[in-house]
Amino acid sequence: MVEYWFKYGVTEISGEISEDVKVEKVSRHYSNLEYDYSVFSKIIDELIGEKNISVVFDYSSPSGIDLLKSFLADVEARGVEKDRLKLLVSSWRINSKILEKEVEDVLKSYKHCLVYPWSEDKVEYNGFMISRSIIDSSSRVYISSIIPHGVLGYPSIKDSLKLCGYINDNIVSDSSQWFKLLEELNFIGLCIVGDRVYSGYLYEINDECMREAAGKYNVKIEEEADILLVDGCGWPWDSTLESCLHIVDLVDEGVKDGGLIGLISECREGLGSYTFVSSLFSKNLREDNLGVKALMRVMNILERKKLALVSTIPKSIIEKILHSRSFDTLQDLLTYGFRMYSKHAFVRIVDGVLWLTK
């Protein structure tokens, strides 16, 4: 028997598969970032003389928070006082309450610098509604990661700024105005793509980051599996069903029609937002909400394929809303899968956030 491990909340869980079973593990981990610390120095050189500095951070990956901490440490080491900083922190991938707790635990000494998009007013600027801290700052830095999402594909830097809630473009019809805006605001960016950090002005690096993301995370598969196993990336990304359901769409093409997708996701905070939960139980999927859009895609997938979860969400709820099975352990899910497809099933294990394509 071979043991396979998956992220599950703040821990990991495992399941055993016989050595006689055909198993393919698809993995691309980018845990070690490659970046030149001199890049920090160049950016900080531009900040030294500024009175008001805003750092906009889109919390979308563990490596992102590490990069932010390293950057702030260098800023402080160069003598930039904390009272000159505004840390505009947000995340469109996780619940706002979870975000606040996560960030305030990690950035305790910067707690008085933190600004959330829901905590301050926006002001009109060239057709956009923009958070006051960004407008009032004389220098602006953006830090984020580009990783695939089942609904958005590869969200751009523009998508990130909009989804995080710091810039609203509802009154702008011309998308080209976005690049003009980024140029006028003179955002300096640090953007993680895989194991590399790209730096420069946002209007310069956006396209390169998008191109590189596909090369880092797209995986072409040759054969469809009977059973596919993937986790929700662990805490906080698997904190709710809403935050991780989009992953099913990313791996859909890696399993045959009639096959089984096994999603290992703790969901300790339950189903998700009020909008998402209301849509789940009412079957009204018209809300303009990422979680609801992911649900719509999964509903379409379930017309062709099966879904099973390892989760803390009650089994009766999963069966009612998704017409799918739920299990307490990964081994139980595997037993269920092998009963359907026999011990000769082809199992694919997806390790990390990847986009499977044919």
Could you report the per-residue pLDDT of 64-74, keeping only the tens digit for each? 898 899 889 88
Burial (CB count <10 Å: 0-12, 13-18, 19+), residue 256: middle
User: In this predicted structure, what is the pLDDT of residue 113?
Assistant: 93
The model's pLDDT over 292-351, given as tens digits with 9 standing for 90+, comes to: 999 999 999 999 999 999 999 999 999 988 999 999 999 999 999 999 998 889 999 999
Low-confidence ranges of the chain (pLDDT < 50): 171-173
Query: Does the domain spanning 37-193 belong to CATH 3.40.50.11440?
Result: yes
Q: Which has the closest alpha carbon to 311: 298, 294, 328, 324?
A: 328
Q: How many CB atoms neighbour CB 335 within 10 A?
A: 12
Q: Which has the closest alpha carbon to 280: 231, 239, 324?
A: 324
Q: Could you tell me where in the chain the CATH 3.90.226.30 domains are found?
A: 2-29+218-357
Query: Does the domain spanning 2-29+218-357 belong to CATH 3.20.20.70?
Result: no
Cα–Cα dist 236/249, whole Å: 19
Q: Could you tell me the two tokens for 275?
A: 């909008």
Q: Could you tell me the two tokens for 127?
A: 């057709």
What pTM does this model have? 0.90
